[in-house]
Amino acid sequence: MKKWLISIVLLLAVSALAACGGEKKEGHAKDDEGKIIVGVTAGPHEQIVEKVQEVAAKDGFEFEMKVFNEYVMPNIALAEGEIDLNSFQHGPYLEQFKKDRNLDITNVADTVNYPMGIYSSKVKDIKELGKKAKIGLPNDPTNGARALLLMEEAGLIKLKKDAGVKATLKDIDENKLNLEFVELEASQIPRQLEELDAAAINTNFAIEQGFVPEKDSIFIEPKDSPWVNVIAARTEDKDADFVKKFVKYYQSEEVKQFIEKEFAGSATVPW
């Protein structure tokens, strides 16, 4: 009888664990208080989502924020269910990343546009860069292409006609100054700027390092740049209520005014 009872107890325990596991898989990466978790990168994205938290809390919608210091893990964590949404990347980066990693995540809304800039601690004007200058750029495909397009616009290089948003160093068709390009992890470029003559830096990392993009960059993207940042979710959740609520609070007038005041032109709002 005891063995029979023990078997029943074990069976019930296993069933309960399986049910919990299934519920977690079908649900969301909630914290201990049942709040959804939103991933961001440190800096401007973090600041804006903190404001979203404030606006949402007034309406009784609370969520946790998880901060990352690079561009890879926020999408991995989203796909693996460790977070429920993320807000840190532009659309082309998301599309390329999910294709490369075969991830089932998707763009659910636009956020802000941070113009990429070229920075230097050695020259004050893009025209002062000399021959064989060492130029840093992000080593991920989409931000690397974005940097090359920016350098072409600045008159430093010319790219092959059909390079577009997939441009690589191999697509440089003209490099009159014989510039040396150094590919680095995007988040590390500001810290290595002293070792370079100039570098293309994403605005969030530039601000984190203390730069004011419109003031400190020696060349910057136009405000109508197509590299708009997005909110991403797992595809299965794209129509979920929590996604719609988060997007509503993010794209609220109060958050828009905060962005325009806090970043004074370093971030533009496309919605």
Q: Is residue 202 part of a domain?
A: yes
Q: What is the CATH number of the domain that holds 180?
A: 3.40.190.10
User: Which of 2-36 are b and which e, b meaning 16 or more Cβ less than 10 Å from the residue's Cβ?
Assistant: eeeeeeeeeeeeeeeeeeeeeeeeeebbeeeeebb
pTM of the model: 0.73
127 and 202 belong to one structural domain:
yes
Residue 205's domain spans which residues? 117-220
pLDDT 10s digit of each residue in the chain, 271 long? 444 444 434 444 433 433 344 333 445 677 667 799 999 999 999 999 999 999 999 999 999 999 999 999 999 999 999 999 999 999 999 999 999 999 999 999 999 998 899 999 999 999 999 999 999 999 998 899 999 999 999 999 999 999 988 999 999 999 999 999 999 999 999 999 999 999 999 988 998 899 988 899 999 997 667 789 999 999 999 999 999 999 999 999 999 999 999 987 788 898 8
Q: Is residue 160 part of a domain?
A: yes
121 and 209 belong to one structural domain:
yes
Q: Is residue 232 part of a domain?
A: yes
The count of domains in the chain is: 2
